[in-house]
Amino acid sequence: MNAPRLPLAGYHPATVPYEKRGPGERDRAINYPLFEERTHYLATVHGFEAGGFEATVRIVDIQLMSDAAMRPRGTRKPLGERDERDVVRSVARAKKNLRHAVKQIGCDHLLTLTTRETQNSPEELARRWKGFVRSFRALTGQEFPYVAIPERHPSRPDHWHLHVAVRGGMYGKHEYQGGWIKRLDLARRLWWRECGGKGMGNIDIKRIKVGAHQDGTPKGPLVRAERIARYISKYMTKDLIFAHRPDKKRYWRSEFDLPTARRYWLQTRPVLIEQRGDAFILPTAFHELRSRLGQFDMMRCSFFFFPDGSGFWFSYNPDAGGLATSPGCEVPF
């Protein structure tokens, strides 16, 4: 990825008369562009219903953004015409949506569903999983929110199994066929039925362990959701998306809305972020955004700085340390 050009020479704001514009700019509208500076910080924030948020702050080129908005939309390149950049962008988008889905509902348990077949496909797993979910919801009355993704067996490439992030686990008992049965045992029976009979499949459940803080208090549920999100998003690979399942669903989730992005233009002027030793100095743009989001606790954030210096990503998790507090409301300039 090329680093942003700072500053950009030859950029003429809207106040420049038409006759003074450069040769390549005279075919543009008289009121184009709208910004005096070509590059700005754009902050994109996704807040999760379960708590916490993610934010990306990146230097954007207003000129390129405006030009891109005028291009036709709604058409996808044929599979054979997609280059490596298209693949990388598609994988990144899919991983982000998967991670956001897990955080949105606050998943704290991980299911692994397998079959005894020597060969199957993600589409067959999807059909069986949907049948299982319908039966489980009908018998238990549980809402059962989930996020599911298939994984290829490491040594048997024609065999797939399913990882499912859920909220609340499968604890307790339920009345079934005149008696009482553990919910996990009921789930196994329903999965057997979808797989063709008793013993033809299995369900393992794992409650993610996250330990405790330095003061001995247990870490909150959002830490589990964050760890599960990182874990299952690693299965969203180029192999899954393009090599074997072109134009197919990459993961499945129950019906709920993903977080809506909130975007903020920042007043801080863009600068390329430079590394100092083994650490990055938090840029002024972070502190400006923090003031707009209610001065959240920086000690509960995790950061990633883009290698080209064009911006950074960070995640705020109120359960990551100390007593949980809300990031609060937006603070206007």
Per-domain residue ranges of the chain: 103-253
For 10-19, b/e burial (b = at least 16 CB within 10 A) is ebbeeeeeee
For 192-204, b/e burial (b = at least 16 CB within 10 A) is bbbbeeeeebebe
* Cα dist from 185 to 111, 114, 190, 231, 241, whole Å: 13, 15, 9, 25, 33
Nearest Cα neighbor of 321 from 224, 210, 214 is 214
β-strand 173-176 against 301-305: which pairing, if any?
Answer: unpaired
What number is the average pLDDT over the span 267-292?
76
Assigned token pair, 142: 């549980």
- Please give the residue that has the higher pLDDT: either 119 or 275: 119
* Cα dist from 226 to 34, 151, 219, whole Å: 39, 20, 12
Q: State how far Cα 265 lies from the chain centre.
A: 22
In this predicted model, what pLDDT tens digit does every residue of 73-120 receive, in sequence order?
Answer: 666 666 666 677 777 777 888 889 999 999 999 999 999 999 998 888
Evaluated on CA atoms 229, 150, 235, 210, the torsion sign reads positive
CB neighbour list of residue 48: distance below 8 Å, 6 or more residues apart:
54, 100, 103, 104, 106, 259
The CA distance from 217 to 329, in Å, is 27
pTM: 0.79
* Whether the Cβ atoms of residue 11 and residue 66 lie closer than 8 Å to each other: no
**Position 27 confidence tier, pLDDT thresholds 50, 70, 90:** low
- What is the reported pLDDT for 74? 62
The CA distance from 306 to 280, in Å, is 11
Phi-psi region of 197 (alpha: psi -120 to 50; beta: other; left: phi over 0): left
- What is the reported pLDDT for 175? 81
The CA distance from 218 to 216, in Å, is 6
Q: Which residue's structure tokens are 């409650």?
A: 207
Assigned token pair, 101: 């889905």
In this predicted model, what pLDDT tens digit does every residue of 150-160 receive, in sequence order?
Answer: 888 888 888 88
- Please give the residue that has the higher pLDDT: either 324 or 32: 32
